[in-house]
Structure 1
Amino acid sequence: MGAPDYFVILAEMRTGSNFLEESLDAAPGLKCWGEAFNPHFVGAAGRREMAGIDIAARNADPLRLLAAIRERTDGVAGFRLFHDHDPRILEHCLADPRCAKVILRRNPLDSFVSLQIARRTGQWRLGAKGTARMAKIRFEPADFAAYLDMQAAAAAAVTRRLQISGQSAFHIDYDALGDVEILNGLCRFLGARGPITAASSRTRVQNPAPVSQKVENPEEMAAALAELSAQEPFGAGRSRSLEPDRGARVPTYLVAASCPLLFVPLPGGPRARIRGWMEALSPGGAPPLQGMTQKSLRRWRRTNPGHRSFAVLRHPAARAHAVFVERILYPGPHCDMDLRESLRSHHGVPLPEGPPEPNFGLDAHRAAFLAFLAVLRGSLQGQTGLRVPPEWATQSALLQGTAQVLLPDRLLREDMLAQELDAMARPFGRQASVPPARTGAEATLSRIHDPALEEAVRSAYQRDYMMFGFEDWRPEAAG
């Protein structure tokens, strides 16, 4: 099937449609014309004309504007359409099989609260360099119930029309708007002439905190949601995240040479220590095997009945600090120099131009680490244009990626490595000491750590704290 004649993004306010539009506009051969059929403006707030058609002419004949934007587009033209936009255009698009349909959805509680905050603050879009206006709103159960009914009715009407006409749509969720692979799949669906290299960074997430922190009456909200559903489908306690999905990283897995033990390293974790332990398990210190493919991993599992696999969780504070020291602070073979320079020059992280001098003391180290944590938090929440290296990713996301091919038998804790690794090896008649942790970064962290720094880490990695029950970091947490 060739490219469609045009496309429509069926969405609602505060579902991420601006963000999606900007990403699609970066694809060669695609052009999105905004809210072309909003009853109050044409394309964007305050505009009265588009493609030579003013608002009066559009209202008289909406198909005239549709023809004009298609004619003026080098490629495939599209626009965003909400439930309260011109119903004549909705009817036309749903009836036209040459119109590609994109259905964008977001958790309704998130979009509802975001909408109330935007109305209260007057801030409808947050640019890359803008400052978010913060406000809490009072959650009104009746208003939310009405909002749910409106969304459900609009979605049901669209679904029914597509089903009875035998058409399909490309469905995309708000949480996938930062996933370049999914966005490029959408670009292909729409007939783009080429891919994009990154999601848009022009628009940032305005209110990334959990919904329960955005309302004045979280207890009343929780009670109202419990009445609507005992299963809490609205995610009131979760942080919404644009963190991309992760792959399984099979080539990084380590297999002990002398027994069927498989280690699934999480980037930013104690990989070197586990590798040393695996060498010590084997007579003669044989190194563990690595570099497997998914096919060879399946073969190994079939030919090694009784095998065991494990991953090691590291406290987010220790993990973030280790990544900061090894990958950012000190230039060298393990440093990501391009990322370091971007952090230093464009994101306000006070790093020295070269290696830290002796006068780069604990106060300077702490200030740089705190600034790094702020950028890290923003990148995980879709608020910067920076890519998210695997070492920065949440351990939750990394394990979700692993689950595509393997679920580890056990998740070990770094602060209990000696006992837990011994328990892993004992059934195979093996025993070995765990190499000690490198103390340099750990010692520095113990000297700069305080409640404010812990809160900064917790803010960045709230998902991991919740998923794995981490308490505040303590110096002995390295096992």
Structure 2
Amino acid sequence: MAFDYFVVLAEMRTGSNLLESNLNAFDGIECHGELFNPGFINTPATERYRDVTLAQRDGDPWRLLNAVRAGGGRMVGFRLFHDHDRRIWDHVLADTACAKIVLTRNPLDSYVSRKIAAATNQWKLGDVKHRKQSRVAFDGAEFEAHLARLQATQIEIQRVLQTTGQSAFYIGYDDANDLSVLNGLARWLGVSARIADLPRALKKQNPEPLEQKLTNPQALPQALARIDRFDLTRTPNFEVRRGPLLPGIHAALSVPLLFLPMRGGPEGAVLDWMAAIDAIAPADLPHDFDQGRLEQWRRAHPGFRSFTVLRHPLRRAHAVFRNRVLTGDMQPVREHMTRLFDFRPEDGERAGFKAFLRFCDASLSGQTGLQPWPAFASQAANLEGYAQAVIPDLILREDDLTEDLATLGRRLGIRTPPAYVPEGDTGLAAVLDDEVRALARRAYRRDYEVFGFADL
């Protein structure tokens, strides 16, 4: 069928800059970069593109999409990653007039490449003499989380294409410089032009063997051996199909107990209690689960209990704001708060917290280009995510943990369960007023309704 425009569905360090450069070598093709990156438009540090500002794009992404598509006479497109504006992601996947180019790369190569780029702050290379080198550490749990996210994205793309009767042009990283493949892609897009040579504007940044890029190559075999490789044909790429992302789950050491933490909740205090059962450090509790290891653990622990803990939405939001937003841990969130809700730290904690609650409301409603993170997503949504792999048989409340954890411990055969030590005061009372209560209820109306929370 004839397409009106195209999108390159890719991820960081999969070769999307290279593919864009090569596509733009065709007369009649125009790729406009990362138009819907939460932090910029088109290229880093660009805050206005086609007379559309960053704030205008965040408020109305269709305005930028229409401005780019209005070029006329050319096949126009852009690059889109899984964490870009969800409104545009959903739109282009469903739009049969949009050609989908799905770019993939060996996930281990993309993982290492991303770590090197972050270490050197060099995200693309035009002149080899300016190349920066660095060796990085391989982290098995981090790589598996990377792998799970890539696979989940690929499964989502495939599912939408199948249910809407569409097909995509799949291209691997190694084919992004293949002249025949690129000309075939142009033909598929309906562009008559062909190229005889590649532009060669970008250079491969890290051509060394994988082991030479790592400070701990000996960690690779053990980590890779744990990965189930029997689902390789699940999607048309080389990524292993994974279950839900489960590294946050922790198990007790000597009793059959699983804890499913809610980000932003009393996670640290509960892990301290679980570790105290065996007089160990929280870091020594079994964790780093994936679907396969979780199933193995459950089979090995018949009669196990699993639980999660709910925190009042207002307390949870304030804890995330104080412990992660104000500390600079959530820089993209701060940038969106500043751009959309006039966040200024010098205005004080109450004003800043109100800006954060307004941002959460907008993000959870799909009105920003930044998708909800687990720390500020609703607890109902986080619980649904866990339920894809394990449904907790106990949903406890933070206010009742002293009694409930003692009861849980005794049910598991612990004669004298350790005392639960609550987290310290977060200073919520100092910023609490009627407007804060109303903003929290509006942002987290689902948690208030589903779990029956009352106003503080």
TM-score by length of 1: 0.47
Computing the radius of gyration from Cα coordinates, the structure with the larger value is: 1
TM-score by length of 2: 0.50
